[in-house]
A and B are shown apart, each in its own frame.
Chain A
Amino acid sequence: MQFILETSGLTYAFSRKQPVLDNINLQVPEGSIYGFLGPNGAGKTTTLKLILGLLTRQRGDITLWGRSFEKDRKGLLRRLGSFIETPSLYGHLSAMDNLLVWQKIYHCPLENIARALRLVGLTDTGSKKVRQFSFGMKQRLGIAVALLHRPALLVLDEPTNGLDPHGIIDIRELLKTLNREEGITILVSSHLLSEVEKLATHMGIIHHGSMVYQGTLHGLLSRHPHADLEKIFLDTIKLGAL
């Protein structure tokens, strides 16, 4: 199987105390929607920040498309779109101007702006400043920023956090469409089991900084044919391993 993203032995500590990540070996297959699941504080965001180079790597390796992140940072970031924790938006600018800010850096066609806005359903916001947007609109615009340069891999950290049920369904359908129709590989973290279940083709479960399961969703369910996913998840993180 071809992995678009791999980490090996990724370990990280904010201080000399207990590491927040311990030997994380993440393998994201090309073309998959990889649900990175874990309770709050499990280490999901720290893992994603390390993958994106936002935190300085301490131990372990990160490769994207088989290339070391540190050796080809710029080349790899050009093929990657991200959304970490909260949307990164300039409140004093309109949606269009926000995307223009990133369009200049990626030097991608201007048409990409209209496309990204259309994909997230924000075509009619005009000159309205982003600070006047609802939370859901900001969340969608944050995803538009990640999609702007048509990346091959999307790294999304809790993109549906704080959205109403309608907003959650919209984002889920958008991600499925992007994966199916444009072949974008998606690594999406969540603490919502039901969300990952409906969206992901593959899954990694992290608990207290350690990976306790990695594989297909089908594989996880088939090991416990008579239990529901919630029970399997709770058993998994309780036991620390299957």
Chain B
Amino acid sequence: MMFVHSFQSEWLKKKHSAAVALVWSGAFFIPLLMLIIRLKKFKDLASDNASPGLWAWLYGLNWQFMAFFLLPLGVMLATSLITQLEYRNNTWKQVHTTPQDMSTIFLSKLSILLVMLVQFFLLFNIGIWLAGVLPAVFKGVAFPRASFPWVKFLRGSGYFFIDSLPIVGLQYLVSLQFRNFLAPLCVGIALYVASVIAIEWEYGYTIPYNYSALEYLVSIKGNRLPSANIHVWALVYFAVFIILSYFLYRTKKDKS
């Protein structure tokens, strides 16, 4: 029961925060660009909407930019923003003098991050759907003939969710340890750059920030599978980062 109260409290803290704005704007940014492009090319709208491959085409285009760029950077930034709320407001000392276990505080904050990530993927899929149907509303052409493959797309998003978990785990660890907001950002950007450089490398799957890009290349572009299961790697990295993060958080000498 304490976890529920703690989660409610954490949920309230993120109200009006930059992380919430990031989730909403990040989820709709690329679909909005796609919508604008489709509206500009209105001559192709009717034939595009009649095509049975419309949704797969839109899904692929949206994920191309999301998987390589926005998702890793957005997850990095949102995780750091949410976790650093306590440092920025000098509130750790108050949080740690409430009658809660350290594990409850740790897990409720982590849960908020994961729920926000799920929220982000749902909004992104809604954005893709809107990019498909809105041109018909604005330009008076027929609506897409094919129905939106919700289950398939949500399953695909589920894999991207798993692939983002190592970024959540490591950013959470670093953000909990350092008061300076630049520390988690520097670690995140360094690993992101390393992952971009190593994407073509045979063992690129060992870099924990690489999995969303690899998932795009394999599942959407149809590239060759890496020699390892990237989802398993992502889950193992996440588990390691979270266990280490909890250990460091728990044993911190000064909790103020």
**Interfacial residues, chain A to chain B (CB-CB below 8 A):** 49, 52-56, 73-75, 77-78, 80, 82, 84-93, 97, 100-102, 104-107, 129, 145
Knowing A90-B13, A104-B5, A105-B5 touch, does A77 contact B98 (C-beta < 8 A)? yes
Could you jot down 19 A-B contacts, CB within 8 Å? A52-B93, A54-B96, A73-B99, A74-B100, A75-B99, A82-B97, A88-B91, A88-B93, A92-B16, A93-B12, A97-B12, A97-B15, A101-B9, A101-B12, A102-B9, A102-B94, A104-B6, A104-B8, A105-B98
CB closest chain-B residue, reference A129 = B16
User: CA separation between A77 and B97, bound complex, in Å?
Assistant: 6
Query: Residue of A at shortest CB range from B4?
Result: A104
**Cross-chain contact B256 with A49 (CB below 8 angstroms):** yes
Shortest Cβ gap from B116 to chain A (Å): 16
State A40–B9 Cα separation when bound (angstroms).
Answer: 35
Check if A90 sits within 8 Å of B85, measured CB to CB.
Answer: yes
In the complex, chain B residues whose CB is within 8 Å of the CB of A54: 93, 96-97, 254-256
Question: Shortest 8 CB-CB distances between A and B: which pairs?
Answer: A88-B94, A104-B9, A74-B99, A54-B256, A78-B99, A88-B91, A77-B99, A104-B8
Q: Is the CB of A92 within 8 A of B12?
A: no
Size of B's binding interface in residues, CB under 8 A: 27
List chain B residues, Cβ under 8 A from A145. Answer: 94
B90 within 8 A of A: yes
CB distance from B67 to the nearest CB of A (A): 31
Query: How far is B90's CA from A113's CA once the two chains are assembled, in angstroms?
Result: 21
Known: A91-B88, A92-B15. 9 other contacts (CB 8 A): A78-B99, A84-B256, A88-B94, A89-B89, A101-B9, A102-B94, A104-B6, A105-B5, A105-B9
A93 contacts B97, CB within 8 Å? no
Within the complex, what minimum Cβ distance (angstroms) separates B23 from chain A?
A: 15
Interface centre among A54, A82, A91, A106 (most CB of B within 10 A): A54
What's the least CB distance linking B145 to chain A, in Å?
46
List, in ascending order, chain B residues with CB within 8 A of A78's CB. Answer: 99
| Cross-chain contact B101 with A55 (CB below 8 angstroms) | no
Give the shortest distance, in Å, between B137 (CB) and chain A (any CB). Answer: 35
A52 to B99, CA, bound (A): 11
CA distance A91 to B85 in the complex (A): 10
For B5, give its contact among A74, A77, A93, A107 (CB under 8 Å). A107
Q: What is the distance, in angstroms, from B89's C-beta to the closest C-beta of chain A? A: 5
B99 to chain A, nearest CB (A): 4
- Contact of B119 with A by CB under 8 A: no
Q: Give Cα A104 to B254, complex, Å.
A: 25
| Contact of B253 with A by CB under 8 A | yes
Min CB–CB distance B126 → chain A (angstroms): 26
